[in-house]
Structure 1
Amino acid sequence: MSVPLLQAHELTVRHPNPGGTVLAADRICLSLDPGDALVLLGESGSGKTTVARAVLGLPGRSARVTGRILFDGTDLLGLDERALSRIRGRRIGYVPQDPTASLDPLRRIGPQLTELLRRHGSADGRRAARAAVPGLLESVGVPDPDRVARSFPHELSGGLRQRAAIALAISCGPELLVADEPTTALDALVQAQVLELLARLRRERGIALLLVTHDLGVARRTGGRIAVMQDGRIVETGPAERLLSAPGHPFTAALVAAQPGARR
């Protein structure tokens, strides 16, 4: 039996505001094994992104976070920002909903990848880092990687920008990939291609995937296990196929009824 790569125990996130404290995540418990997928599924405001950002060590400046987040046995909540930054980007990769959140619009794709490889010590010097860029882009399905490496983000299609963002996220060989609504802004064909890319990275590299989505179709295609969130709490968990075909919680049943295509 494998040891979980990621575990959350009683994870609670509160945000102060003028009217009182907002409980964004309430006593979340979850577990993710190496190479597996866990989908955080829920409507907007359910707390799924809050959980993902807490795992990344980015809960928000005023957030109060309690509980435990264990990554390979290390409690991330006990680390300072310097220690977290050594893990984030190298051992935990992040794919945002909007790739412009991780891509610098004023720099070409190649230099951005080169800098990240050098910052985390994943390449021996600038020349080696630069030489690794085309292969890295090719590994995420980018056609003509040399051209893309020379391009600014605005010169690329949405699908290519998202692939470039995924290349950034996996450039240092992470064990865990956190993907927050990574296909929302893409058309159906490109969405399917990105989901297949994430599945291939799991198969070929053994990367665990924590994926946030409101879309049951995305959850079904991702597979693995699903944790359904409502009002900051996980109300149901289970294997994707079972949960979507025979939901046990009324809220999950309502979600499935609202998106009947997710059953297939």
Structure 2
Amino acid sequence: MTRPLTDRVLSVEDLTVQYPGPHGPVRAVDAVSFAIDASQALVLLGESGSGKTTVARTVLGLPGSSATTRGSVRLGGTDLLTLGERSLSRIRGRRIGYVAQDPTGALDPLRRIGTQLTEVLLRHRIAANRREARTAVPALLASVGLAEPERIARSHPHELSGGQRQRAAIAIAIACGPDLLVADEPTTALDVLVQAQVLDLFAKLRTEHRTALLLVTHDLAVARRVGGQVVVMRAGRAVESGTADRVLSHPAHAFTAELVAAQPEVRP
């Protein structure tokens, strides 16, 4: 299905997430707002504990059982914060794909990659039967740049390199053609060359499939390479937002300027 050229995929408005603490509620996210259109990338940038992962998990409908949420998280015209777990489980994987920081933990170590992909296609009724799903697996693995897709499909996660595991996890995340891809520090465990390849893959998905990308990172170099929009978070709040080029080259907020100044500089 071809999406309209101007459709809004995700709209987050005044999102607040808090958890019970020993001295009262702890506000992990405080009135955060942003929006992502089809083909657009938005990077949540900040230090550890800034609330960026909590935002991403709330978009996925996984803020935790003790969380209290306010505001709205709209996927298309549906407010995800109003849905029950059964409805959310149909959306996760089908309309929202998720790429975790650690592909080793995201993949089932006891099942072959092809089997895991097959189950996703069957669960969300992308394939009519197991035979049709198995037939689709090599093309999906090839689409994320994996050479020898038939061998990869027969492999268990421990038989693959870190980069291959992350690509396999991305294949699972995009298997159903989601509107939105949520990636939480997806390059942290990878070497620099593989990082670049994975980010280029995200760019390809945005261009060819008009997939919207919400990417969480603490790495300014990753944010620069992804481009698009950047929301800088600190202590649960969005302190600055704008295009990646403007925010990272001409920061308006003192905290953003500190982040940019702290970036290591390569000199001869």
Pairwise TM-score range, normalised by the shorter structure: over 0.9
Residue 3 of structure 1: how far off its partner (Å): 3.8
Which residue does 1:22 correspond to in 2? Answer: 26
Quote the Cα distance in structure 2 between the aligned partners of 1:65 and 1:153: 36
SS of equivalent to 1:39: strand
Which residue does 1:207 correspond to in 2? Answer: 211
Residue 101 of structure 1: how far off its partner (Å): 3.1
| Partner of residue 122 from structure 1, selected from 126, 138, 161 | 126
* Structure 2 counterpart of 1:250, one-letter code: A
Quote the Cα distance in structure 2 between the aligned partners of 1:14 and 1:101: 26
Q: Structure 1 stretches of 5 or more lacking a match?
A: none
Residue 260 of structure 1: how far off its partner (Å): 5.3
Residue 20 of structure 1: how far off its partner (Å): 2.5
SS of equivalent to 1:5: strand
How big is each residue's C-alpha offset from its partner over 1:193-217, in whole Å with a ceiling of 9 and x where there is no partner? Answer: 1111111111111100000000000
Which residue does 1:47 correspond to in 2? Answer: 51
SS of equivalent to 1:209: strand
Residue 17 of structure 1: how far off its partner (Å): 2.5
| Partner of residue 227 from structure 2, selected from 223, 229, 233 | 223
SS of equivalent to 1:182: coil
**Identical residues among aligned pairs (%):** 66
Quote the Cα distance in structure 1 between the aligned partners of 2:265 and 2:188: 17
Which TM-score applies when normalising by structure 1? 0.97
Do the aligned partners of residues 211 and 261 (structure 1) sit closer, same or farther apart at CA in structure 2, a change above 3 Å counting? farther
* Structure 2 counterpart of 1:105, one-letter code: P
Q: Does residue 94 of structure 1 match 2:76?
A: no
Q: Does residue 244 of structure 1 match 2:235?
A: no
Q: Does residue 196 of structure 1 match 2:200?
A: yes
SS of equivalent to 2:231: strand
Which residue does 1:83 correspond to in 2? Answer: 87
Question: Which 4+ runs in 1 deviate beyond 3 A?
Answer: none
SS of equivalent to 2:8: coil
Q: Does residue 175 of structure 1 match 2:179?
A: yes
* Structure 2 counterpart of 1:15, one-letter code: Y
How big is each residue's C-alpha offset from its partner over 1:63-107, in whole Å with a ceiling of 9 and x where there is no partner? Answer: 111111011011001111111111110000000000123210110
Aligned-residue RMSD, C-alpha: 1.2
Which residue does 2:167 correspond to in 1? Answer: 163
Quote the Cα distance in structure 1 between the aligned partners of 2:187 and 2:114: 23
Residue 261 of structure 1: how far off its partner (Å): 5.1
SS of equivalent to 1:173: coil
Of 196-205 and 13-22, more deviation after overlay is shown by 13-22
Quote the Cα distance in structure 1 between the aligned partners of 2:42 and 2:51: 15
Which residue does 1:184 correspond to in 2? Answer: 188
* Structure 1 counterpart of 2:101, one-letter code: Q
Which residue does 2:154 correspond to in 1? Answer: 150
Quote the Cα distance in structure 2 between the aligned partners of 1:145 and 1:246: 44
8 A Cα contact 1:176 1:208, kept in partner: yes
Residue 158 of structure 1: how far off its partner (Å): 0.3
Quote the Cα distance in structure 1 between the aligned partners of 2:265 and 2:121: 41
Q: Structure 2 stretches of 5 or more lacking a match?
A: none
8 A Cα contact 1:217 1:261, kept in partner: no
Which residue does 1:105 correspond to in 2? Answer: 109
Quote the Cα distance in structure 1 between the aligned partners of 2:26 and 2:203: 35
Quote the Cα distance in structure 2 between the aligned partners of 1:175 and 1:138: 20
Quote the Cα distance in structure 2 between the aligned partners of 1:2 and 1:139: 26
